[in-house]
């Protein structure tokens, strides 16, 4: 948020966490987590490690809404995985968690997991 403010932009909307995972040739799990924020202005000169995109569109995802303790957010992912399994849907390796709200000891989050594509 400080970076956005230092560039004259104001953070708006919820925090979004993008998680990507891959299995290396050695069989190790490689996880990349990206935190994203919307801003009221586009920043043209962005310095590394930050990036700026004018629009983010994620197509063909499975979705779960979650309200509850943050430590049980995994239940939303479990629900998506079970539903995908039951419906014969292959999931990709990227998910997005939109942290919509925090209420006392509970969070409200929307979880999106990309379906696997044939690319």
* Predicted pLDDT of residue 119: 63
Q: Model confidence over 1-46: pLDDT tens digits? A: 778 887 788 889 899 999 999 999 999 999 999 999 888 888 888 8
pTM of the model: 0.86
Q: Using an 8 Å Cβ cutoff, are 96 and 112 in contact?
A: yes
Residue 57 has pLDDT above 80, yes or no: yes
26 vs 56: which has the higher pLDDT: 26
2-115, what's its fold?
Multidrug-efflux Transporter 1 Regulator Bmrr; Chain A (3.20.80)
Q: Where are the domains of the chain?
A: 2-115
Beta bridge partners of residue 79, listed in sequence order: none
């Amino acid at each position: 948020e400080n970076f956005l403010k230092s560039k004259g932009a104001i953070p708006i909307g919820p925090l979004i966490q993008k998680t990507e995972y891959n299995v290396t040739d050695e069989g190790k799990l490689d996880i990349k987590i990206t935190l994203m924020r919307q801003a009221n202005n586009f920043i043209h000169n962005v310095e590394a490690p930050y990036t700026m995109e004018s629009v983010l569109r994620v197509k063909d995802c499975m979705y779960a809404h979650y309200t509850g303790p943050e430590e049980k957010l995994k239940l939303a992912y479990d629900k998506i995985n079970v539903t995908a399994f039951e419906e014969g849907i292959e999931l990709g390796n990227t998910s997005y968690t939109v942290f919509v709200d925090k209420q006392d000891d509970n969070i409200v989050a929307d979880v999106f997991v990309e379906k696997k594509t044939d690319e």
